[in-house]
Amino acid sequence: MLALMDSFQATIDADGRIEPRDAMPEGYRKTLIRQIAQHAHSEIIGMQPEGNWISRTPSLRRKAILMAKVQDEAGHGLYLYAAAETLGVDRAELLDLLHAGKQKYSSIFNYPTLTWADIGAIGWLVDGAAIVNQVPLCRCSYGPYARAMVRVCKEESFHQRQGFEILHTLCNGTEAQKAMAQDALDRWWWPSLMMFGPPDASSTHSEQSMAWGIKRHSNDELRQRFVDMTVPQADVLGIRVPDDGLRYDEETGHYSFTQPDFTELYEVVKGNGPCNEQRLAHRVKAHEDGAWVREAAAAYAGKQAQKKASAA
Ligand code: FAQ
């Protein structure tokens, strides 16, 4: 066993990939299950805030685009549950844990989408933050997670552009439309910064996850990267990031900015955000309503297996 663990460490040290059949410490396996499951749950719960606008898009073109985007998020959830299953868990088990409130999903999806501009803000800011967080995960030390991330990131960058384009249209429309875009930025800016997790000093998992090559950058490094990328985009839109402390530092080449109120993040993660109850109740109902589909698929697979066995 010691030799097997030596080979795990040697692979990590050489920046190689750990594959499902390789030996791995139990802590590594558990950390990956926690993070990948949380990520998968975020993708499927993340369909709800945007799904809320599919029947109310301003045009047929916008409806087709939004439906495709929401469907992509479902696909991301599926790749991620499949990646988690390579670690020896079952997706049904992970969903039960989500429904029982024992596994988390991203805090960001507990905020409401009040106007059409919020759909633009989700694409621009939330998918934008997701890209900043997930591009380094394409180099994660666990092979199946890293490979899933490559395709996810390609799709997320398309999502980010569609969100930006919605806001660009609004910002070049009437005064009322531009005000709607500003209001969306005002409400989504701080929750987007919180998506990167607690500050490094309070992050429980970062140090170990970075040593194992699961995370490549700390929460604060990625938050900074997101601010540096996004502020010039807000300038292009002609709307203002709601932070009086925002300054560009010529010397460092980075923006200094006000940190979000992390007590709000902890409250939302604990279940006290504006939409936590609604999101989970909707998810549980969708799961229960879909039981007959799962049962039918299992019955069909059983019949096919029987047919194959009797033909052999
Ligand atoms: N929300 O020690 P750390 C998307 C928890 S996908 C909720 O720093 P870690 C696509 C954390 O789990 C968005 N909980 O943790 C899309 C831990 O609690 P635990 C999801 C949070 O894991 C777009 C505790 O706090 N992306 O947006 C949050 O090292 C549009 C201590 O934190 C991913 O999941 C939070 N924001 O770093 C879909 C990416 N932050 O488990 C639809 C992969 C922290 O000990 C529409 N995940 N916590 O009970 C990651 O990169 C990491 O897991 C972090 C957290 C960075 C999220």
Q: What is the pLDDT of residues 29-45, one digit of tens each?
A: 999 999 999 999 999 99
Check pLDDT > 90 for residue 1: no
Q: What is the pLDDT of residues 266-292, one digit of tens each?
A: 999 999 999 999 999 999 999 999 999
- Judge whether 217 and 136 are in contact, CB under 8 Å: yes
Q: What predicted TM-score, i.e. pTM, was given to this entire model?
A: 0.96
Any bridge partners for residue 62, and if so which? none
How much is the pLDDT for 141? 98
How much is the pLDDT for 118? 98
Cα of 269 from ligand 1 centre, angstroms: 10
Cα of 38 from ligand 1 centre, angstroms: 7
Pocket test for ligand 1, best of 30, 31, 42 (most atoms within 8 A of CB): 42
pLDDT classification of 5: cutoffs 50, 70, 90: confident
Cα of 107 from ligand 1 centre, angstroms: 8
Distance from C-alpha of 290 to C-alpha of 207, rounded to nearest angstrom: 40
Look at ligand 1, atom 34, and give the residue with the nearest C-alpha.
Answer: 39
Region 130-145: what's the mean pLDDT? 97
- Judge whether 130 and 173 are in contact, CB under 8 Å: no
pLDDT classification of 2: cutoffs 50, 70, 90: low
Spatial CB neighbours of 305, under 8 Å, sequence gap ≥ 6 = none
Region 149-156: what's the mean pLDDT? 94
Ligand 1 pocket: which residues have CB below 6 Å? 34-35, 38-39, 42-43, 46, 73, 104, 106-107, 122, 126-127, 130, 133, 194-198, 203-206, 209, 215, 219, 269
Rg (CA), the chain: 21
Counting every residue, how long is the chain?
Answer: 312
Mean pLDDT of the chain: 97
Q: What is the pLDDT of residues 79-110, one digit of tens each?
A: 999 999 999 999 999 999 999 999 999 999 99
